[in-house]
Amino acid sequence: MAHLRLGDSAPNFDASTTDGDINFYDWAGDKWVVFFSHPADFTPVCTTELGRAAALNGEFQKRNVKPICISVDGLEEHHAWAKDIGETQGTDLNFPIIADPNKEIANLYDMMHPNASTTATVRSVFIIDPKKKIRLILTYPASCGRNFDEILRVIDALQLSDEYNIATPVDWQDGDDVIIPPSVKNEDIAANYPKGHTEIKPYLRTTPAPNK
């Protein structure tokens, strides 16, 4: 069983999904991926989560992101569950659900936590960049639904830091001031952060959002 950490390469796999058979790397292509797991089909919390993820399709597309989820049930159950999701959440499912009845992929990504449940996956979230590197790992208990606004916020922060060499402070939202990393010397700030900066402490320097 893998114990994946930030910066590791996301394991590749072949799988059957509600959108047909895929190779994960080929399916992901040059996109960012949000890969998240569900304890089981026809469960109430998961139904609301999948509906929310489907409703955010436009937000994911704007960020060059493809969502994909996994449950340890089979394709027949997935297709039947998708109908329930569309009926109860007001939006049709528009991304694939991976069938993993043998739990091979769940174990590959360390989604089985025996002290929580021996039969169902925990609510894992992996954000994977276009180089197939794992950039974020979240793990929720089965009873607690995820916050997809937070998932979008983290994607915004990761993409911004990749492009502009910045860090984001607590509770940051797109458009807020950002932090200049300590590795950047004061004499190099003007050339790299043309909007100016504020030095609160020598190690805490902020600059306006570089993308606005």
Residues 125 and 169 in one domain: no
- 88 and 38 housed in the same domain: yes
pLDDT at position 67 over 80: yes
Whether residues 72 and 175 share a domain: the answer is no
Number of domains in the chain: 2
Specify the pTM.
0.93
Residue 86 lies in a domain: yes
- Whether 64 is in a domain gets the answer yes
Whether 46 is catalytic is yes
Name the residue with higher pLDDT: 120 or 16. Answer: 16
* Residue 109 in domain: yes
- Out of 28, 33, 46, 152, the active site residue is 46
- What is the mean predicted confidence (pLDDT) over 186-196? 95
Confidence check: pLDDT of 172 > 90: yes
Instruction: Give yes or no: residues 144 and 91 share one domain.
Output: yes
Instruction: Kindly state whether residues 47 and 70 are assigned to the same domain.
Output: yes
Residue by residue, what is the 3-state secondary structure of 147-192? Answer: CHHHHHHHHHHHHHHHHHCCECCCCCCCCCCEEECCCCCHHHHHHH
Flag whether 145 is in a domain: yes
Q: Are residues 171 and 137 in the same domain?
A: no
140 and 170 together in one domain: no
Quick check: 37 pLDDT over 70? yes
Same domain for 124 and 172: no
Q: What confidence score (pLDDT) does residue 118 get? A: 66
Domain carrying residue 121: 14-158
Looking at the domain assignment, is residue 1 inside a domain? no
Higher pLDDT, 107 or 25: 25
